[in-house]
Chains A and B, each alone.
Chain A
Amino acid sequence: MWRRRSTIAAIVDDATFREQQLISRALEPIADRPEEFAQFLKADRELARRVVELSGEQPR
């Protein structure tokens, strides 16, 4: 799995690929490491909890 992530990161880091497949489509490249992504997901989950709470949306 690590090898594949490295392969993905190498592709996303390629300047031509970034420009043609991401930036030109208004996508912001990331390709972070699994542990960084896991940390991000924790923070995103907390943001989601707050957004849903503020919206007043009820779970169904």
Chain B
Amino acid sequence: MRARQRTIAGLLALSVMLAPAGAPAQDYPSRPIRVLTSVGPGGTGDLFIRSLGEELHRRLGQPLIVEPRPGGGFLIAGRACAEASPDGYTICMLTGETLSYNRFLYRQLPYDPDRDFAPITNLFFNTQALVVNADLKVRSVDDLVALAKAKPKSLSYVAPAQHHRRHCR
């Protein structure tokens, strides 16, 4: 049994970011651009942003420095992004956890997802899968739900993190 879901990875600028203060827009960028990410090194998101960075370096003439800030239920990256200077030289690649889910999972956030960031583009959807051991003979989500109800507390479940979108699902 497999069930797919789509998750986002969006590229965001800090709010109020247009071009560096005091510099003509046509000179932008005149130094490296930092990219804060909420994903760890080596994953698909990290590989993608590094590939995109290489292409942007070639086209814009300045390198992108990728700074992964994973962990902490995606709060660490959100906070780092919100606290970075809105000077046009820090952008962020954040996921749906930081932007959509955490506001419902935490009473207080160290950032405001509506006010601290300005959207640039949604980069991609990532496919997530729900899988079971083949021996379980489950063929659909409905089968899985029925089995869980028929045998309460007999199934264990693994998710990437607790208190997390995929944990909720």
- Per-residue CB contact flags for chain B residues 90-101 toward chain A (1 = under 8 Å, else 0) read 000000100111
On chain B, the number of residues with a Cβ less than 8 Å from chain A's Cβ atoms is 42
Question: Please, how many angstroms separate the alpha-carbon atoms of A49 and B18 in the complex?
Answer: 31
Which residue on B lies nearest to A9, using beta carbons? B121
Count of CB-CB pairs between chains A and B under 8 Å:
126
| Chain B interface main SS type | mixed
On chain A, the number of residues with a Cβ less than 8 Å from chain B's Cβ atoms is 41
Is there an interface contact between A30 and B119, defined as CB atoms closer than 8 Å? no
B101 partner residues in chain A, CB cutoff 8 A: 48, 51-52
Is there an interface contact between A21 and B48, defined as CB atoms closer than 8 Å? yes
Further pairs besides A37-B10, A52-B105: 17, Cβ < 8 Å: A4-B120, A5-B121, A21-B47, A26-B127, A27-B124, A27-B127, A28-B125, A29-B124, A30-B125, A34-B121, A38-B119, A45-B103, A51-B165, A52-B104, A54-B168, A55-B167, A57-B105
A-B contact pairs, 22 of them (CB 8 A): A1-B13, A1-B88, A4-B56, A5-B121, A7-B59, A8-B120, A11-B56, A11-B59, A17-B55, A21-B51, A21-B52, A22-B48, A27-B124, A27-B125, A28-B125, A29-B124, A32-B122, A34-B121, A37-B120, A51-B169, A57-B163, A59-B105
